């Protein structure tokens, strides 16, 4: 009964530990939440970026309609005129979570909170939970000290903050929490062979499936873990129980999500889980047989059955894929292995900046000192190499690769970096913080002369501890700095500094979207590049042709073609798709580089993918292969609708001199201004970032619009006294 | 120009042998795509001339199906010819015969001096703008003897009115013009059309099979394009039994999306009838599919599930109890 009776001030030390732990948790959650509030304090409680606007809109739909209406939601305001079966093509976890919170607050606590505020604050709130899940996960790996360290790392690591600041209402906001919880329960289930924990794993897996497409990561990581353990000869009944329970329940549950449906048994991405499930049965039978028959016979049995199974499995996989029963790998999957795959085959995937390979400084930027503690942690795991350590190693290795291939997968790497860094650091502290060791004497030493004061050892420990204390301190500074500078901009509101240092808010987006909302008919169709689809739907509440849910390449290519073609061609597309307004983003005046002219080549490429006869990427470059918008711009470039819309009346701002495009540092010639005949300018925001054009109706008397526009021009009605015979085509 | 575009005004312009077209009107006509011959140019046709004047005939000069002029025989013509552009809204009424041309009298005829040559020349042309404003150009006042032409031009004839457009789901007839349909719903689309005759609205009956009123149900491309069937007169805001009802029943395609009921009726000499109704066609909701036991193919699977459950249950019972008794026996 030794230690448990230790008391400090009359309170059992265990109670104090629990109390301390709770306090630490509360502070960690507090730190995690408050470090994510920069954007709310600087700007306002607003939804960020692009995808969150859709999630927000869907959540509003959910709370204003019933759950079943949400599930069967057919959205006729996006992808006009195709519409989107939204209820069946989204991951409802996020919306249902915030909808549930909203209902609970309103109905049970009588707190009528605006749904927007719940959406904005959801990600920070869940980051606190992530920290706790990480604690439990790491505790399984080492002990609760490491767990606490991992929790605080997880709470403030920029790699995770990047997707979970207040207002970043995206699937990842809750998905990372669920990821860590699922993994924790899996480790627990696998260790104990417990059906109970395996069921919890399956439940959280289901929640994860409902929340994020990245659930496939779990679907593959857990089988891989099991597979590696089998290869290492560590098969046991606990593993069998845990895995089969999880797989059976988890797969059935995941199939309840409409968007996932039959994927778990039809898509290649999920085949590993099924294969390992089968393998486990075989190994189980093998073990049973092994226990029953002599070992020599067992060997031949093993060889024959293994070969058979292997051949059957591979043959079956190929056969079924060839017959179309199993969906082939998706393009996003291929681009994981071959980084140039997407650029060649699916420009639409490559055009998304977060699908680009990661630059190496990003690792330091997003995880600071953790990145070099990470290998140390992995090494510690190798040293002990219990079953759960294998999991950390696999997770770490796989994710390091994936994070190197795609920027956005940095997010899945961050948790394991935090965990293994915490393992390494706590190991270090275990050794160096234990000053008591220096002063205790062992049994053998007793009776000898008293030891000298261990100055050298003490100093070395103090130095190490101090330096790591400094590193930790610096880590906190770094995280705060990164969060505040890089990840807290809502991107719908931009901020710059005036020459005198005061902050200047550039609010062109909302100005323009609000204009659309107030000045256009409610059923107006707005064409814009797909990046802005969700924002137009969310903020302006107008029908869009394409949006960020890029499921229909052809439709996006149609918009690309309209932007890349001369006006007459575009006008046909406008008429066919009932387009009323065209919205473009132009940064030339302000030097805002994320504008449409810079994205223009992607529009051309995507359009070229569908209409290789009409659009050629080469045509948009100058003779010397440069991408220019000044007087050297190619003919196709100057005639393209996008060019005209961007630079229409641009040079007029400069009073007759050439206009200066501050993004591309080129001069826009004033003597050859773009002429528009099929659309007319109706709105340009304060800094010219958003320009909106109205598509003209057909000419009343049947002229083509170019002629009609020329007729309306002030100087055009010159008297033509001499009447000449017109040159006309033969009337058919 | 504004008069036509914004006020829907009607213009009739008449040329003649000696007449000079004012510049404003000329440039207006040119803008529409009608190019009357200038001063001193006359329409001549030496093969069909009697007593020094050109005589028109139905066979040579009448443009078929124009609804305004039925017969042209023995009409003497002294006037201009015009060229017209490929403007879709222009329809010719009287054309030049294949031997006629427009040129200065007495000059030699070749392609540079003649204004019109052969059937590319026109003597009377009508144009109806998209807002149903009407413009007529006649090469000579002699053509005014056809009262239909000026009646038409001043909206006294061939004026149609779309009285109402209705569509509803056959399953729920009380809800008119719903915004939402489901795939494979049955839809009834009904319109009422009136024609103005002497200032009175009367039901408009299509004249022939070529004039069928058609509705398309389209999403980018028409999925359905159907003739509307006349079912008799009906009431309209202009009074009882003033509109002819046209109707069609069809099944919504098995494709969800935003569809448009599009009525587009453009016939020469009649007002345009155009109407677009945008509706949403949704997919089946989660509880609108067939239940599993309604599908005979699924019985096999249902039975196999039941058998597996039963077998598992038997297995568990036998494992626990059968095994147990043996164990106890051994022990005893």
Q: What does A239-305 look like in DSSP terms, one character per residue?
A: HHHHHHHHHHHHHHHHTTSTTTTTHHHHBGGGHHHHHHHHHHHHHHHHHHHHHHS-HHHHHHHHHHH
For A28-64, write each residue's pLDDT tens digit: 999 999 888 888 888 888 888 888 899 999 999 999 9
Q: Which chain A residues are closer than 8 Å to B257 by Cβ?
A: 81-83
Q: Where are the domains of chain A?
A: 175-329, 428-441+455-483, 508-713
Say whether B32 and A523 touch across the interface (CB within 8 A).
no
A72 touches B at CB < 8 Å: yes
State residue B20's pLDDT score: 64
State residue A349's pLDDT score: 66
State residue A187's pLDDT score: 93
Whether the predicted pLDDT of A702 surpasses 80: no
Pick from B33, B280, B285: CB nearest A72: B285
Q: Are strands B257-265 and B200-203 parallel, antiparallel or unpaired?
A: unpaired
Q: Kindly state the average pLDDT of the residues A233-247.
A: 91
B131 touches A at CB < 8 Å: yes
Q: In Å, how far from its chain's centre is CA A110?
A: 34
Nearest Cα of chain B lies from the Cα of A408 at a distance, in angstroms, of 33
Nearest Cα of chain B lies from the Cα of A196 at a distance, in angstroms, of 20
A554 touches B at CB < 8 Å: no
State residue A449's pLDDT score: 57
Q: Which chain A residues are closer than 8 Å to B30 by Cβ?
A: 726
Q: Report the alpha-carbon distance of residue B316 to residue B313 in Å, rounded.
A: 5
State residue A379's pLDDT score: 92
Pick from B83, B131, B283: CB nearest A700: B131
**Sequence-separated (6 or more) residues with CB below 8 Å from residue B88:** A702
A551 touches B at CB < 8 Å: no
For A634-678, write each residue's pLDDT tens digit: 888 888 888 888 888 888 888 777 788 888 888 888 787 888 888
Q: Which chain B residues are closer than 8 Å to A82 by Cβ?
A: 219, 257-258
- CATH fold for the domain made of A508-713: Rossmann fold (3.40.50)
* Average per-residue pLDDT for chain A: 84
Say whether B286 and A698 touch across the interface (CB within 8 A).
no
State residue A4's pLDDT score: 47
**Sequence-separated (6 or more) residues with CB below 8 Å from residue A520:** A526, A542, A580, A581
Pick from A80, A576, A731: CB nearest B86: A731
Whether the predicted pLDDT of A178 surpasses 90: yes
State residue A716's pLDDT score: 46
**Sequence-separated (6 or more) residues with CB below 8 Å from residue B3:** B9, B11
Q: Kindly state the average pLDDT of the residues A420-433.
A: 88
ipTM of the complex: 0.80
Whether the predicted pLDDT of A329 surpasses 80: no
Pick from A83, A258, A711: CB nearest B31: A711
State residue A718's pLDDT score: 45
Residue pair B80/B142 in contact by the 8 Å Cβ criterion? no
Residue pair B129/A702 in contact by the 8 Å Cβ criterion? yes
Nearest Cα of chain B lies from the Cα of A178 at a distance, in angstroms, of 27
State residue A101's pLDDT score: 93
Radius of gyration (C-alpha) of chain B in whole angstroms: 34
A713 touches B at CB < 8 Å: no
For A184-224, write each residue's pLDDT tens digit: 999 999 999 899 999 999 999 999 999 988 898 899 899 99
Indicate the pLDDT class of residue A721, thresholds 50, 70 and 90: very low
Residue pair A28/A130 in contact by the 8 Å Cβ criterion? no
A88 touches B at CB < 8 Å: yes
Residue A568 preceded by cis peptide, ω within 30: no
State residue A100's pLDDT score: 93
State residue A618's pLDDT score: 83
Using alpha carbons, select from A146, A161, A127, A22 the residue that is nearest to residue A483.
A161
Say whether A726 and B1 touch across the interface (CB within 8 A).
no
Whether the predicted pLDDT of A2 surpasses 50: no
Say whether B32 and A701 touch across the interface (CB within 8 A).
yes
State residue A501's pLDDT score: 72
For B285-323, write each residue's pLDDT tens digit: 888 888 888 888 899 999 999 999 999 999 999 888 876
**Sequence-separated (6 or more) residues with CB below 8 Å from residue A688:** A508, A586, A588, A589, A590
A704 touches B at CB < 8 Å: no
Using alpha carbons, select from B67, B68, B83, B100 the residue that is nearest to residue B26.
B83
Nearest Cα of chain A lies from the Cα of B231 at a distance, in angstroms, of 32
First to last CA, chain B: 114
- Tokens 């006729």 belong to A76
Q: Kindly state the average pLDDT of the residues A109-119.
A: 89
Nearest-CA residue of chain A relative to B112? Answer: A725
Q: Which chain A residues are closer than 8 Å to B3 by Cβ?
A: none
| Interface probe with A: pick from B178, B257, B280, most Cβ of A within 10 Å | B257
Please report, rounded to a whole number, the percentage of residues in chain A having pLDDT higher than 90.
20
State residue A593's pLDDT score: 80
- Tokens 């219990």 belong to A386
Pick from B30, B115, B258: CB nearest A81: B258
Say whether A700 and B32 touch across the interface (CB within 8 A).
no
Q: Report the alpha-carbon distance of residue A685 to residue A310 in Å, rounded.
A: 64
Q: Which chain A residues are closer than 8 Å to B258 by Cβ?
A: 76, 80-83
A719 touches B at CB < 8 Å: yes
Whether the predicted pLDDT of A717 surpasses 50: no
Say whether A701 and B26 touch across the interface (CB within 8 A).
no
Say whether A700 and B90 touch across the interface (CB within 8 A).
no
Nearest-CA residue of chain A relative to B127? Answer: A701
Q: Which two tokens stand for residue A348?
A: 């639409």
Say whether A701 and B127 touch across the interface (CB within 8 A).
yes
Pick from A578, A701, A726: CB nearest B83: A726
Say whether B256 and A728 touch across the interface (CB within 8 A).
no
Q: What is the pLDDT along chain B (332 residues), one digit of tens a residue?
A: 556 655 555 666 666 555 667 777 777 788 788 888 877 777 888 787 777 777 777 777 777 777 777 777 777 777 778 888 888 888 888 888 888 888 776 667 776 777 877 777 888 888 888 888 888 888 777 777 777 777 887 787 888 888 888 898 888 888 888 888 888 889 999 988 888 887 788 888 887 777 888 888 988 888 888 888 888 888 877 778 788 889 899 998 888 888 889 888 888 888 888 888 888 888 888 888 888 888 888 999 999 999 999 999 999 998 888 765 555 554 44
A727 touches B at CB < 8 Å: no
Indicate the pLDDT class of residue A95, thresholds 50, 70 and 90: very high
């Amino acid at each position: 009964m030794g230690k448990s009776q230790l008391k400090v001030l009359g309170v059992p030390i265990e109670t104090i530990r629990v109390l301390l732990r709770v306090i630490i948790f509360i502070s960690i959650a507090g730190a995690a939440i408050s470090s994510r509030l920069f954007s709310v304090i600087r700007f306002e409680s607003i939804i960020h970026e692009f995808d969150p606007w859709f999630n927000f809109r869907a959540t509003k739909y959910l709370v204003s309609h019933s759950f079943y209406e949400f599930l069967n939601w057919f959205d006729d305001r996006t992808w006009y005129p195709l519409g989107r079966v939204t209820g069946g093509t989204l991951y409802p976890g996020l919306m249902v979570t915030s909808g549930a919170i909203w209902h609970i607050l309103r109905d049970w606590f009588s707190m009528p909170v605006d749904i927007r505020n719940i959406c904005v604050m959801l990600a920070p709130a869940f980051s606190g939970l992530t920290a706790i899940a990480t604690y439990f996960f790491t505790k399984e790996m080492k002990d609760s000290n490491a767990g606490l360290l991992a929790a605080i790392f997880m709470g403030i690591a920029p790699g995770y903050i990047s997707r979970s600041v207040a207002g970043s209402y995206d699937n990842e906001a809750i998905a990372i929490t669920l990821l860590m919880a699922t993994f924790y329960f899996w480790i627990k289930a696998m260790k104990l062979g417990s059906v109970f924990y395996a069921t919890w794993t399956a439940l959280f897996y289901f929640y994860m499936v409902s929340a994020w497409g990245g659930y496939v990561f779990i679907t593959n990581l857990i089988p891989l873990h099991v597979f590696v353990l089998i290869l290492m000869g560590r098969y046991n009944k606990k593993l069998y129980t845990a895995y089969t329970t999880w797989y059976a329940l988890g797969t059935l549950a995941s199939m309840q999500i409409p968007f996932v449906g039959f994927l778990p048994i039809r898509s290649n991405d999920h085949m590993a889980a099924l294969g390992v499930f089968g393998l486990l049965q075989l190994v189980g039978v093998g073990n049973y047989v092994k226990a029953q028959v002599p070992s020599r016979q067992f060997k031949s049995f093993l060889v024959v059955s293994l070969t058979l199974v292997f051949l059957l499995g591979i043959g079956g996989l190929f056969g079924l894929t060839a017959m179309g029963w199993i969906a082939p790998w998706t393009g996003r999957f291929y681009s994981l292995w071959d980084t140039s795959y997407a650029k060649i085959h699916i420009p639409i995937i490559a055009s998304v900046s977060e699908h680009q390979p990661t630059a190496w400084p990003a690792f330091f930027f997003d995880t600071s000192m953790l990145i070099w503690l990470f290998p140390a942690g992995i090494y510690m795991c190798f040293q002990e190499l219990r079953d759960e350590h294998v999991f950390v190693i696999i997770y770490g290795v796989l994710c390091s690769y994936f994070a190197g291939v795609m920027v956005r997968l940095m997010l899945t790497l961050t948790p394991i970096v935090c965990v293994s860094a915490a393992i390494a650091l706590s190991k270090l502290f275990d050794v160096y913080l234990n000053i008591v060791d220096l002063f205790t004497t062992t049994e053998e030493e007793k009776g000898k002369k008293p030891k000298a004061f261990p100055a050298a050892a003490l100093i070395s420990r103090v130095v190490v501890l101090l330096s790591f204390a400094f590193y930790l301190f610096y880590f906190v500074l770094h995280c705060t700095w990164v969060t505040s500078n890089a990840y807290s901009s809502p991107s719908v509101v931009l901020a710059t500094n005036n020459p005198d240092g005061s902050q200047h808010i550039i609010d062109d987006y909302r100005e323009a979207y609000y204009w659309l909302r107030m000045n256009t008919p409610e059923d107006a169709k707005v064409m814009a590049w797909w990046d802005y689809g969700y924002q137009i739907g969310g903020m302006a509440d107008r029908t869009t042709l394409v949006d960020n849910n890029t499921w229909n390449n052809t439709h996006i290519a149609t918009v690309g073609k309209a932007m890349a073609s001369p006006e007459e061609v575009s006008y046909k597309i406008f008429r066919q798709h009932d387009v009323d307004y065209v919205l473009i983003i132009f940064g030339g005046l302000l030097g805002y580089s994320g504008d449409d002219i810079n994205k223009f080549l992607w529009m051309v490429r995507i359009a070229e993918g569908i209409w290789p006869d009409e659009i050629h990427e080469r045509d948009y470059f100058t003779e010397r292969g440069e991408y220019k918008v000044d007087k050297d711009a190619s003919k196709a470039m100057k005639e393209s609708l996008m060019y005209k819309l961007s630079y229409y009346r641009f040079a007029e701002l400069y009073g007759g001199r050439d206009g200066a495009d501050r993004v591309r540092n080129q001069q826009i010639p004033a003597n050859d201004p773009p002429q528009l005949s099929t659309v007319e300018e109706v709105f340009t925001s304060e800094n010219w970032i958003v320009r909106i054009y109205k598509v003209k109706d057909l000419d009343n008397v049947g002229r083509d619009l170019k002629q009609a526009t020329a007729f309306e021009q002030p100087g055009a009605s010159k008297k033509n006294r001499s009447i000449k015979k017109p040159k006309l085509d033969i009337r058919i | 120009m504004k008069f036509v575009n914004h006020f829907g005004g009607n213009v009739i312009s008449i040329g003649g042998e000696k007449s000079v077209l004012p510049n404003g009107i000329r440039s207006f006509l040119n803008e529409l795509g009608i190019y009357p011959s200038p001063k001193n140019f006359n329409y001549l046709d030496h093969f069909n001339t009697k007593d020094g004047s050109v005589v028109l005939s139905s066979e040579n000069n009448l443009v078929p199906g124009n609804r305004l002029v039925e017969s042209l025989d023995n009409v003497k013509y002294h006037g201009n010819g015009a060229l017209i552009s490929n403007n879709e809204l222009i329809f010719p009424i009287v054309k030049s015969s294949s031997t006629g041309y427009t040129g200065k009298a007495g000059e030699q005829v070749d392609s540079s001096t003649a204004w019109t040559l052969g059937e590319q020349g026109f003597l009377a042309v009508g144009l109806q703008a998209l807002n149903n404003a009407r413009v007529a150009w006649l090469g000579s006042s002699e053509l005014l003897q056809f009262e239909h032409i000026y009646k038409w031009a001043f909206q006294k004839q061939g004026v149609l009115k779309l009285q109402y457009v209705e569509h509803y789901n056959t399953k729920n007839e009380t809800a008119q013009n719903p915004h939402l349909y489901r795939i494979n719903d049955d839809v009834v689309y009904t319109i009422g059309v009136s024609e103005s005759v002497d200032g009175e609205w009367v039901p408009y009956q299509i004249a022939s099979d070529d004039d069928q009123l058609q509705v398309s149900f389209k999403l980018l491309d028409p999925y359905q394009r159907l003739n509307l069937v006349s079912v008799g007169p009906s009431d309209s805001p202009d009074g009882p039994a003033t509109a002819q009802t046209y109707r069609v029943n069809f099944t919504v395609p098995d494709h969800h999306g935003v569809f448009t009921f599009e009525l587009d009726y453009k016939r020469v000499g009649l007002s345009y009838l155009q109407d677009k109704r945008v509706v949403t066609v949704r997919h089946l909701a989660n509880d609108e599919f067939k239940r599993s036991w309604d599908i005979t193919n699924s019985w096999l699977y249902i039975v196999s599930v039941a058998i597996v459950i039963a077998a598992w249950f038997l297995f568990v019972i036998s494992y626990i109890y059968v095994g147990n008794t043996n164990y106890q026996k051994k022990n005893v």
